[in-house]
């Protein structure tokens, strides 16, 4: 097969899934430096790809909005067909993604053997269920049968304007340069992946009493998750920043404490150590943080866990033991463990 010259990568799932696809794109760029590489995503995740040197163009597929109907889907097909891609790579395993690139007449279509649209693919790669999602996605490049580097850490590229926005936010909170920041990201799409709000609040109080500044990160809906009231040395930045601005703020933190959620993957991408709290899901699914100093907190030995592969709205056995058994003391101990392990170069941020 000739080398690809125009490639479309399709990942229309959640923000974390897009971030975990970036090592594949980075490897693709290094392997085929002269190829055009475009990335198809949903509107909510597009901004995280801004300024990325491995990506030529970001295409939007609003599958739950303007592109939801059959007419809009066919318009998207025609748009993609006009771009004359010779290769499509599909980490996303939905039949809609496979149908989109097949109907767009992209000659080579690479995806997993577990894809719902497997019959529409030309190259099928085994889905390795026991490896990290980054490595699973990188395996799609095996279809090219060439040597390629396997970068495991995603890369993000906040702009100068993003950095200036974070500078202004910290100044407005009267945070002094050099004062240690700890990030807290209490939200997630799924309720059963969310640690108890009162435990997060307890952890915040313990951190601020020890002289740390705490920044709360997430979307607008996350602003109300923590019952903190007016707390000194706490900056609630949830809903006030773009995705890349959030990534830049996380970069300045010594540690991020979070659920199994998108901020966890943002932290890995900007090399900030993570304390990740896992409830309904387990690290063995392949979505755990992969930084060298990262810590996962979980309640092992529960017969009901994992209860789902993605998380759910309510605990199916009505105990929520997977989260209830994780204390603020354990989280604080994990933060201290990371700070003790980290070299000065690792955690001292500008």
Q: Do 119 and 171 sit in the same domain of this protein?
A: no
Q: Do 175 and 125 sit in the same domain of this protein?
A: no
E-assigned strand segments in the chain:
6-10, 36-41, 57-60, 87-90, 108-112, 123-125, 181-185, 213-216, 234-236, 255-259, 274-277, 295-297
Q: What pLDDT does 342 receive?
A: 57
Q: Do 171 and 285 sit in the same domain of this protein?
A: yes
The DSSP string of 97-132 is HHHHHHHTT-SEEEEETT-TTGGG-SEEE---TTS-
Q: For the chain, list residues with pLDDT below 70.
A: 1, 229-230, 342-350
Q: What pLDDT does 64 receive?
A: 83
Q: What pLDDT does 324 receive?
A: 96
Q: Answer whether residue 150 is part of any domain.
A: no
Q: Do 87 and 177 sit in the same domain of this protein?
A: no
Question: What is the number of domains present in the chain?
Answer: 2
- Tens of pLDDT, residue by residue over 194-217, are 999 999 999 999 999 999 999 999
Handedness of CA 232, 233, 239, 241 (dihedral sign): positive
Q: Do 83 and 201 sit in the same domain of this protein?
A: no
Q: What is the CATH number of the domain that holds 25?
A: 3.40.50.2000
For the chain, the distance separating the N- and C-terminal CA atoms, rounded to the nearest angstrom, is 47
Q: Do 195 and 285 sit in the same domain of this protein?
A: yes
Tokens 């200036």, located at residue: 164
Calpha distance 43→24 (Å, rounded): 21
Ramachandran quadrant class, 248 (left: phi over 0; alpha: psi -120 to 50; beta: rest):
alpha
Sheet holding 108-112, edge to edge: 57-60, 36-41, 6-10, 87-90, 108-112, 123-125
Residue where a domain terminates, one of 110, 144, 178: 144
Calpha distance 105→110 (Å, rounded): 13
| Structural domain containing residue 250 | 160-347
Residue where a domain terminates, one of 87, 112, 144: 144
CB 113 within 8 A of CB 127: yes
Q: What pLDDT does 176 receive?
A: 82
- SS3 at position 338: helix
Residue where a domain terminates, one of 79, 111, 144: 144
Q: Do 306 and 215 sit in the same domain of this protein?
A: yes
Q: Do 132 and 194 sit in the same domain of this protein?
A: no
Q: Do 227 and 335 sit in the same domain of this protein?
A: yes
Q: Do 195 and 323 sit in the same domain of this protein?
A: yes
Q: Do 106 and 70 sit in the same domain of this protein?
A: yes
Q: Do 202 and 75 sit in the same domain of this protein?
A: no
């Amino acid at each position: 097969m000739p080398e690809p010259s125009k490639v479309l990568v399709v990942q229309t799932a959640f923000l974390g899934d897009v971030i975990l696809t970036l090592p594949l794109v980075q490897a693709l760029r290094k392997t085929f430096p002269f190829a055009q590489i475009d990335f198809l995503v949903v509107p909510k995740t597009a901004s995280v790809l801004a300024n990325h040197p491995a990506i030529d163009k970001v295409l939007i597929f609003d599958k739950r909005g303007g592109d939801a109907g059959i007419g809009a889907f066919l318009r998207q097909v025609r748009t993609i067909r006009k771009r004359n891609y010779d290769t499509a790579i599909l980490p996303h395993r939905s039949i809609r993604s496979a149908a989109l690139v097949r109907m767009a007449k992209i000659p080579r279509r690479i995806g997993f053997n577990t894809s719902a649209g497997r019959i529409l693919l030309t190259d099928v790669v085994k889905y390795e269920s026991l490896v990290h999602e980054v490595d699973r996605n990188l395996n799609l490049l095996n279809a090219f049968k060439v040597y390629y580097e396997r970068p495991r850490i995603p890369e993000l590229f906040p702009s100068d304007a993003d950095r200036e926005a974070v500078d202004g936010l910290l100044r407005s909170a009267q945070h002094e340069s050099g004062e240690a920041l700890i990030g807290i990201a209490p939200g997630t799409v799924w309720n059963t992946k969310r640690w108890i709000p009162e435990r997060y609040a307890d952890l915040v109080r313990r951190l601020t009493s020890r002289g740390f500044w705490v920044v709360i990160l997430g979307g607008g809906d996350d602003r109300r998750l923590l019952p903190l009231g007016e707390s000194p040395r706490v900056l609630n930045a949830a809903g006030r920043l773009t995705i890349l601005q959030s990534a830049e703020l996380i970069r300045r933190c010594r540690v991020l404490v979070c659920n199994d959620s998108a901020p966890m993957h943002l932290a890995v991408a900007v090399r900030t150590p993570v304390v990740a709290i896992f409830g309904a899901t387990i690290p063995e699914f392949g979505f755990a943080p992969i930084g060298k100093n990262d810590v996962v907190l979980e309640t092992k030995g529960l017969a009901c866990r994992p209860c789902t592969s993605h998380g759910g709205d309510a605990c199916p056995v009505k105990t929520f033991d997977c989260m209830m058994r994780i204390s603020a003391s354990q989280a604080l101990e994990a933060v201290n463990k990371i700070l003790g392990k980290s070299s000065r170069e690792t955690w001292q941020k500008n």
